[in-house]
Structure 1
Amino acid sequence: MVESILGYSPVLRHCFRNVSGKQFPRFQVIKAQAMELAKEPGLCKEKERYRDSLVGLKPGSWPPKNRADNPSLYNPLARQERMGCGWLGAIFEWEGVLKEDHPDLEKQSWLALAEEEGRSPPPGFVVKRIACMKNEQAISEVLCWSRDSSQLKRMALRKEDIHQALQGGVYRFRDGSREFVNVLTRHKIPVALVSTRPRKNLEEAIGAIGIEGVFSVVVTGDDVYRGKPDPEMFVYAAQLLQFIPERCIVFGNSNLTIEAAHDAKMKCVAVASKHPVYELTAADLVVRRLDELSVVDLKNLADIELTEFGSTPELEMDVEEEEDDRRPPSSAAIGDGFW
C-alpha cells in the first residue's frame, strides 16, 4: 500500500544501514514509519471514544479483552472456536418446546388444588398468567393464598402431585424436537434444559422419554428462587454452561420466555405451539417446529455484533480509505520531507 502511495522511484532501491551494520531496504523503513503514523490517530480516536471508561484503568488494561476469549484454553483450535460464531449454547424449555404440552392438565391441577384448599377456583386468564411461574411464586404473589413458607411448599408439592397423577406417566416429544436435538448433539453444541417443575418430576419425564445424558445442564424449580418472567433460570443455565449470555439461545413458546431471555441479553427462538405466530413476533425467530431450524440459523443468531459490546462499527472508515486510494501520490511523501 505504501509503495502505491509513494510511487516507483530509484531511491527505493537504496538500502538503509542501522547501527549494527545490518542493511534494510529503504522502502521497508518508509513502510514501517507510515504504519506507525497511521496507527497513532486510530489509537487516539479509540481512547477518545472510551475516555470516560478509561479513567482509573491500570496500565496494560487497554485495549479491552474479548469477553468471549478464554486464555486458559491452551489448545489454539478450541480457543479459536470459542471466539468464533461456532461457540454457542442452547437453552430449552421443557413443556411445549421439547415435550408435547397439555394446558388442560395445568388448569385441572390448579382447580383441584383450589378445591382441596377451600379456595376460589382461579379464572382462566389467571391460570395462563401463572403457567410459567414457580408454584410458590404463583400461590403467594398472584393467587395470594398464603405467605407462610411451609404452607407454600406444601401446596406447591401437592399441586405437582396432582399434575403427575393427571399426566399418568405418559410423555411424548413434539414433532421435530427429537430430530433437532440429535442435530445439536452431532455438532457437539452444549444443551441445557430449564423447567419450573421439581427436579424429581423432570428427571422422571426425561427417563420416560429416553434422553438421559443429552443435556449438559438441567435447571429446575428447585435451583432458582423465581420463575419467568424473571431471567434467573436462563442466567443460571448460562453460568453452568460457562457461556456469556450473548452466546446463548433460548427456545421457548411464550412471551414471558421471550421477555426473560431478552432481559438476560440472550436471543430467543419461539415455538408456536400454544400461541399463534403473530403473537410471538417479539422473538428473534419464530418457528412452528424445531426441525425447521439449522445449525447455520443458530450461528447467525449467536454471532456477536459490536453493538452488544458497547461499540458501533465505523462504516465511514472504508469510505475514507477508498478516497485516500484515489488521491494522486504526494510529492512531499517522495522527497526528504517525509523523513
Structure 2
Amino acid sequence: MKENTKAFLFDLNGTIIDDMHYHAEAWHQILTKDLGADLTWDEVKVQMYGKNREVLNRIFGEDHFSDEKADKLSVKKEKYYQEAYKPHLKLINGLHSFLAEAAAHNVKMAIASAAIADNIDFIVDNLDIRQYFDALVSADDVENSKPDPETFLIAAEKLQFDPADCIVFEDAPKGVEAAQNAGMKCIVITTAHPKEDFEQYDNVIGYIKDYEDALTKNFFQKHTEAPQK
C-alpha cells in the first residue's frame, strides 16, 4: 500500500447499505402522521441529516419537545425503520469483497456515522461484517453532527491514524464537507446524490455507483506498487 492510504472510514446509510428510502418512510410516518407536521415527502427528505433530536428541532423548534419525549420519538422512528428495512437488508453491491480485500491488505477500517449505535449494531450484526471494523463511531459518541468533522476525527483517533492518512466513503454532501473539514480525502458513492451536488468540495478523489465500480475494484492494484528506491 502507499503510505498515504492507511485507513478507510465509512459512513453507514447510503454508503454501506442503500436504505435512505426506509429512513424517509420512517420519518414521514413520525413527522406527518404521528406529529401532524404539514410536510411533503420531499420536504421530509431534505431534513434527514444529523441526530434525530436535531431533525425534530429543525422542524418544530428547540423547545417543542422535552428530552424524554424526543428520546421516545427517536426510538419509535428507529423501530419503524428497522422493521421496514430488515427484510431488504443487504450490503451495497461489491462491498463485501472490497472489505475483505482491504482487510487482507491490513487496511484499518471504521464506521463513522450519524446513525445511533443501535442502528449500527443492527446493520453490522445482521450482515455479519463486524469483524472488518476496528472502530464504530455513532451519533451517541459526538457532540456535533456532520458537517462538523468530529465524527471522522474521533474515528481516526480510535484507529490511531492521522486524518490525512484516512480515506472517507460518503454519499451525502454534508458528509463530504465533514471529511473536508477533517482534512480527509473522500470517495463519493452516488446512491442518493448526483455528482453535481459535490462540485464545491475539493477533497473528492472519485465517484462510484457501487463497489463493483472500476475505481474500487482496481483500488488495491493501483495502490500496492512497491515504493521507488
* Band of TM-score, shorter chain: 0.7 to 0.9
- Counterparts of 2:162 and 2:26 in 1: how far apart (Å)? 37
- Counterparts of 1:297 and 1:218 in 2: how far apart (Å)? 28
Extract unaligned runs of 5+ from structure 2. none
Aligned residues: 217
Q: What residue in structure 2 maps to residue 118 of structure 1?
A: 35
- Counterparts of 2:42 and 2:152 in 1: how far apart (Å)? 25
- Counterparts of 1:298 and 1:286 in 2: how far apart (Å)? 17
- Counterparts of 1:238 and 1:107 in 2: how far apart (Å)? 29
| Residue aligned with 1:226, SS | coil
Q: What residue in structure 1 maps to residue 166 of structure 2?
A: 248
1:295 correspondence with 2:220:
yes
- Counterparts of 1:170 and 1:112 in 2: how far apart (Å)? 19
Q: What residue in structure 2 maps to residue 108 of structure 1?
A: 25
What amino acid sits opposite 1:133 in the alignment? G
1:263–1:143 CA distance, 2 compared to 1 (3 A): farther
| Residue aligned with 2:88, SS | coil
TM-score by length of 1: 0.58
Offset at residue 192 of structure 1 (A): 0.3
1:205–1:132 CA distance, 2 compared to 1 (3 A): same
Q: What residue in structure 1 maps to residue 117 of structure 2?
A: 199
1:97–1:271: 8 Å Cα contact kept in structure 2?
yes
TM-score by length of 2: 0.84
| Superposition map of 1:229-308 within 5 A | 229-281=147-199, 282=201, 283-291=204-212, 292=214, 293=216, 294-295=219-220
52, 62, 73: which one pairs with 1:135?
52
Offset at residue 113 of structure 1 (A): 0.9
- Counterparts of 1:256 and 1:152 in 2: how far apart (Å)? 23
1:277–1:116 CA distance, 2 compared to 1 (3 A): closer
1:98–1:178: 8 Å Cα contact kept in structure 2?
no
71, 86, 90: which one pairs with 1:172?
90
Q: What residue in structure 2 maps to residue 219 of structure 1?
A: 137
> C-alpha offsets along residues 99-118 of structure 1, whole Å, 9 cap, x if unaligned?
12242x22221121124543
- Counterparts of 1:142 and 1:172 in 2: how far apart (Å)? 31
53, 75, 79: which one pairs with 1:161?
79
Offset at residue 215 of structure 1 (A): 0.4
- Counterparts of 1:277 and 1:298 in 2: how far apart (Å)? 24
Offset at residue 227 of structure 1 (A): 2.2
1:210 correspondence with 2:125:
no
Extract unaligned runs of 5+ from structure 1. 1-80, 301-339
1:137–1:226: 8 Å Cα contact kept in structure 2?
no
- Counterparts of 2:60 and 2:11 in 1: how far apart (Å)? 24
Offset at residue 299 of structure 1 (A): 8.0
1:265–1:204 CA distance, 2 compared to 1 (3 A): same
1:227–1:124 CA distance, 2 compared to 1 (3 A): farther
1:169–1:205: 8 Å Cα contact kept in structure 2?
no
Offset at residue 131 of structure 1 (A): 2.2
Offset at residue 252 of structure 1 (A): 0.5
1:122–1:143: 8 Å Cα contact kept in structure 2?
no
1:298–1:117 CA distance, 2 compared to 1 (3 A): farther
What amino acid sits opposite 1:261 in the alignment? A
What amino acid sits opposite 1:259 in the alignment? E
| Superposition map of 1:43-62 within 5 A | none
What amino acid sits opposite 2:35 in the alignment? G
| Residue aligned with 2:130, SS | coil
Larger radius of gyration: 1
